[in-house]
């Protein structure tokens, strides 16, 4: 069966989460590209790029500094397709002197395409897995110098896939390194249920800061001014990290 994500490519939810992803990774890249190794984890990766669906909406270009819009416009001009989270993450973090990727995708056809596209783009240091495991993350982090971990958790429906969300949150929680979690929550109360006081939540309320940041863009909550508010909060939180 064709992966159901094909009918969402470029829709409002995609634009929201992808813009926040690129904004966050841009901030992190500027700040840590020379001093840390980026460990990027996509627990539900889908594709490097995919054809725009008929539910695709406008990108709404924000201005000269809008890296997300620049990436998507360049991709559409070059291939007629839309970059998905792995492709955007690869582009936004290209400035890192050292980076490692953990790309998880349960659909074997999509996983094969992901392998092909990453190889074609010349991005190496990628581990591909059908599903996330804490052991893989621990091994990656252990082999990295001064790791900075960014984890995108993006299932179709949190309610149907709780374990696939709990396992990466628990693994990230065990890490003793700066870590940002981005969980796309479809309006579900993931943060309240899963993320404890070790995590600073940038979109819900502030917890005492201790080098862990989580945020939960949803299609309803973080659009328009709230979106830039989230980026400001993340920038402020990052400023407190070494
Ligand atoms: C919402 S899509 C991901 C979209 C992608 N992250 C993006 O932003 O463009 C969810 C993907 O997760 C995959 N999937 C479902 N359950 C999974 C699991 N337990 N582990 C890894 N991938 C899973 C599906 O095949 C689908 O491709």
Question: Which protein residues are within 6 Å of ligand 1, measured from CB?
Answer: 3, 5, 17, 42, 44-46, 84-85, 104-107, 110, 131, 154-156, 161, 164
Q: Which domain holds residue 34?
A: 4-239
* pLDDT, position 217: 47
* pLDDT, position 31: 87
Cα separations in angstroms, 217 against 27, 31, 75, 78, 188: 17, 22, 24, 29, 11
| Positions in the chain whose pLDDT score sits under 50 | 187-191, 197, 202-211, 216-229
Contacts of range 143-146, beta carbons closer than 8 Å, 24 or more positions apart: 143/100, 144/37, 144/39, 144/98, 144/100, 145/36, 145/37, 145/98, 146/35, 146/36, 146/37, 146/177
* pLDDT, position 219: 37
Distance 45 CA to ligand 1 centre (A): 5
* pLDDT, position 235: 59
Domain count for the chain: 1
* pLDDT, position 224: 38
Substitution site in 5, 50, 136, 158 for ligand 1 pocket (most atoms within 8 Å of beta carbon): 5
Token pair belonging to 118: 């990453």
Strand-pair partners of 183: 153
For residue 121, what is the domain's CATH number? 3.40.50
Q: Is the Cβ–Cβ distance between 70 and 91 less than 8 Å?
A: no
Ligand 1 atom at shortest distance from the alpha carbon of 9? 9
Distance 237 CA to ligand 1 centre (A): 28
Q: What is the pTM of this model?
A: 0.87
Residue 131, classified by CB atoms within 10 Å of its CB into exposed (0-12), middle (13-18) or buried (19+), is middle
């Amino acid at each position: 069966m064709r992966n159901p994500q094909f009918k969402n490519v470029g829709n409002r939810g995609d634009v929201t989460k992808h813009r926040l992803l690129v904004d966050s990774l841009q901030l992190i890249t500027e700040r840590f590209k020379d001093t840390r190794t980026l460990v990027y984890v996509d627990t539900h990766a889908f594709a490097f790029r995919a054809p725009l669906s008929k539910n695709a909406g406008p990108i709404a270009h924000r201005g000269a500094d809008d890296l997300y819009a620049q990436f998507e416009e360049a991709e559409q001009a070059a291939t007629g397709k839309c970059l998905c989270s792995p492709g955007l993450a690869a582009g936004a973090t290209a400035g890192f002197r050292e980076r490692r990727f953990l790309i998880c995708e349960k659909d074997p056809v999509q996983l094969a395409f992901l392998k092909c596209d990453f190889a074609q783009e010349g991005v190496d240091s990628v581990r591909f897995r059908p599903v996330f495991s804490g052991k893989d993350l621990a091994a990656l982090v252990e082999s990295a110098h001064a790791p900075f971990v960014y984890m995108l958790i993006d299932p179709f429906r949190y309610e149907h896939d709780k374990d696939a969300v709990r396992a990466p949150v628990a693994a990230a929680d065990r890490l003793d390194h700066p870590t940002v979690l981005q969980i796309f929550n479809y309006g579900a109360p993931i943060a309240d249920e899963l993320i404890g006081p070790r995590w600073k939540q940038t979109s819900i309320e502030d917890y005492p800061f201790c080098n862990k940041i989580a945020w939960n863009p949803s299609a309803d909550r973080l659009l328009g001014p709230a979106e830039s508010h989230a980026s400001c909060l993340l920038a402020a939180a990052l400023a407190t990290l070494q």
